[in-house]
Structure 1
Amino acid sequence: MVRRTTVTLVIALFVVLAGCAGTGGAGSDSPDSPSAEPTTTEMTAAETTPQTQSLTPSASGDVTVDVVEVVDGDTIKVVMPNGSRETIRLLGVDTPEVYGENTPDEFEGIPETDAGKACLGAAGDDASAYAKSRLSDETVELRYDEKAGKRGYYGRILAYVVVDGSEFNYDLITDGHARFYDSSFEERERYERAEREAREGGVGLWSCATEGSTASGEDTATDDRLSVSVVADAPGNDNDNLNGEYVTLRNDGDESIDLSGWTISDAAGATYTFATGTKLASGATLTLHTGTGTDTETDVYWGRSGAVWNNGGDTVTVRSSTGTEVLTYTYE
């Protein structure tokens, strides 16, 4: 009997010890165990916490992007770091239109005339060419402005564009390619001051200003489809601003006029000949600038090294390709 009791006690003790050894082992639900499953709260937090930082910055951040298209002087298209494409509207500036009609009264001092509109159109082309020369296929930095917000009315990103360490928006204004855009942004006062200086100096588009307004005079025409206007007194020194003086022809007729071989001359006999294929559509204008530039459908360039049209008075004579006098315009 004693032996049987001893064996029973030994077996019972072994079972108790085995149970204690299992406590805290590999199958434990302890939160310190490497194999413990996260709670529902922990899983939710893990799933909603971003694993990488977003590539789209906040309104106060900066980002480096690649320019894929220059739309015009103040609008570009870029590829963002995350691969998306965005349209960027340059903040705080407005260049003259190239895809629509310009409104001269938006640009202080520009005359509300056909000549004023034509001049702004040419300035818009110049601004676009300038933007393409500086930004096409470049890697640039976008800087955002908390005061302006990140996107404009049409959903485009609003930003300062920095290229080669220079703030391109500001350069547009100082070089006379844009006006200060009256809106809320941090650099407003600096941009407004830069525009005033460019305007007072007759720089770029400001050569279209009232100081160079159309000269008044009388014309005699054998072709009543044509009319002419002259800006003889360019802002500043005429010889330093040759494209600030110009003659504008307008077709008031119902049909296009082929100007191939036609000429324009002043009283002293200086003569410009229109290239073959030059046409003036019904209702359209064509402006002849004294200086150099790239000819377009609306603007041609004489390529002279000095001013042509006398500020105190002159006569514009237009002749057909056969030498027939079509129109004369005398101003004082």
Structure 2
Amino acid sequence: MRRLAFGLVVVLVVAAGCSGFTGSPSGSAGTAVDDQSAVGVPESAVTVSVTAVVDGDTIQVAYENGTGDTVRLVGVDTPEVHTENDPAEFEGVPETDAGASCLRGAGTNSSSLAKQQLLGETVGLAFDPNLNRRGYYDRLLAYVVVDETLFNYRLVETGRARVYDSKFTRAERFYAAEDAARSDRRGLWRCTNPDAVTHTAIADGGTITESPSGVEIATIHADAAGNDNENLNDEYVTLTNTGNATLALSGWTVSDAAGHQYTFANSTLDPNASVTLYTGSGTDTDTERYWGRNGAVWNNDGDTVIVRDASGETVLRQSY
């Protein structure tokens, strides 16, 4: 049985329906987030291209010879987005409709991260010596290594997944990361109290506000690879609708602390859907919008993302 270690430190926002999942969660003082040195990144056995993201813990890949495979990430279990969640599987989450609804929003956030970081990318797959190469439904069981980081561990460390009990070699370190995420109530672990609304400073001194609309900032990717001004579409912010109703985003704005502002036009956001705002230029779609700027917007050393509705009321404000 899984050990029952549960510390509760309120450091993030939880709104009704658990709005406010963030893509850049911060731990409490002294807690490292994204500390890849704690787990040890395995050496990749094969290189593949990610062709589809099924959900946060399952992807589809293509090998160099053109054949494909489905990969189930070792050691992690993210909340479901295509079926109902069972809160009993997530320690401390109440077995209520509110708990299940909150987990659905957390699952959307996990899938959003996988799409942002893995979809279309070339990644490495590594295998665990304690596990068979294949699991249920003949899916390949693997660690996913991207940009010299272990994506499986990142899911757990940032509160986007629970540890999936098995005999994988890194289990102890994964459980330690899960305990820290749950103690800090990062990501899905805010669902332990899905009806609570708490205003509080996050570790870096910034603040997050709850959004009654159900819109939340899923990802802030401020530091583009290389020169930010020459790679504008690697600088982006992703918004996710965790509510139960479709939102009309026309007239809504996204701005930074300096007052640079983007206004959405002819845009709606369905429940569990996301839209990514890229700083550079491109063709707008339902899921991708382009600011069309000639220079970077988001400061790498800290900034504030402000989302306002069509009436000008502030819906979200998040510092990083």
TM-score normalized by the length of structure 2: 0.52
Write the distance in 1 (CA, Å) between the matches of 2:73 and 2:150: 10
The alpha-carbon deviation at position 296 of structure 1 amounts to 3.4
Higher Rg of the two aligned structures: 1
Contact 1:96 1:120 in 2 (8 A): yes
Match of 1:304 among 305, 310, 315: 315
Is 1:66 the counterpart of 2:49? The answer is: yes
Contact 1:77 1:86 in 2 (8 A): yes
CA distance change for structure 1 residues 297 and 171 in 2, over 3 Å: closer, same or farther? same
Is 1:242 the counterpart of 2:253? The answer is: no
CA distance change for structure 1 residues 65 and 98 in 2, over 3 Å: closer, same or farther? same
Within 5 Å, give how 1:1-332 maps onto structure 2.
Answer: 62-209=45-192, 212-214=193-195, 231-233=196-198, 240-243=207-210, 275=247, 295-297=269-271, 304-305=315-316
Identical amino acids, percent of aligned pairs: 45
Contact 1:118 1:298 in 2 (8 A): no
Write the distance in 1 (CA, Å) between the matches of 2:94 and 2:125: 35
Write the distance in 1 (CA, Å) between the matches of 2:271 and 2:106: 14
Which residue identity does 2:183 align to in structure 1? E
Contact 1:232 1:246 in 2 (8 A): no
| DSSP-derived class of the 2:48 partner | strand
Write the distance in 1 (CA, Å) between the matches of 2:270 and 2:53: 19
Write the distance in 2 (CA, Å) between the matches of 1:151 and 1:178: 21
Which residue identity does 2:109 align to in structure 1? D
Stretches of structure 2 lacking an aligned partner (at least 5 in a row) = 1-42, 215-244, 250-267, 275-306
Which residue identity does 2:86 align to in structure 1? T
Contact 1:70 1:76 in 2 (8 A): yes
- Equivalent pairs counted in the alignment come to 188
CA distance change for structure 1 residues 197 and 115 in 2, over 3 Å: closer, same or farther? same
Residue number in structure 2 paired with 1:38: none
- 1:123-167 CA-to-partner distances (Å, cap 9, x unmatched) read 111111100000011000000012011010210000000001100
The alpha-carbon deviation at position 82 of structure 1 amounts to 3.3
| DSSP-derived class of the 1:137 partner | coil
Contact 1:207 1:234 in 2 (8 A): no
- 1:260-288 CA-to-partner distances (Å, cap 9, x unmatched) read xxxxxxxxxxxxx98569xxxxxxxxxxx
Contact 1:144 1:150 in 2 (8 A): yes
CA distance change for structure 1 residues 134 and 299 in 2, over 3 Å: closer, same or farther? closer
Stretches of structure 1 lacking an aligned partner (at least 5 in a row) = 1-59, 215-230, 249-272, 278-293, 308-332
Contact 1:201 1:236 in 2 (8 A): no
Contact 2:208 2:317 in 1 (8 A): no
- 1:302-327 CA-to-partner distances (Å, cap 9, x unmatched) read 853479xxxxxxxxxxxxxxxxxxxx
Contact 1:202 1:235 in 2 (8 A): no
CA distance change for structure 1 residues 213 and 99 in 2, over 3 Å: closer, same or farther? closer
Write the distance in 2 (CA, Å) between the matches of 1:247 and 1:115: 16
TM-score normalized by the length of structure 1: 0.50
Which residue identity does 1:296 align to in structure 2? D
- 1:229-273 CA-to-partner distances (Å, cap 9, x unmatched) read xx3347987x84534x8699xxxxxxxxxxxxxxxxxxxxxxxx9
| DSSP-derived class of the 2:138 partner | coil
- 1:69-119 CA-to-partner distances (Å, cap 9, x unmatched) read 111111111112332210000000011000000011111111111111111
| DSSP-derived class of the 2:98 partner | helix
Write the distance in 1 (CA, Å) between the matches of 2:79 and 2:176: 19
Which residue identity does 1:91 align to in structure 2? V
Write the distance in 1 (CA, Å) between the matches of 2:88 and 2:137: 23
Write the distance in 2 (CA, Å) between the matches of 1:134 and 1:274: 26
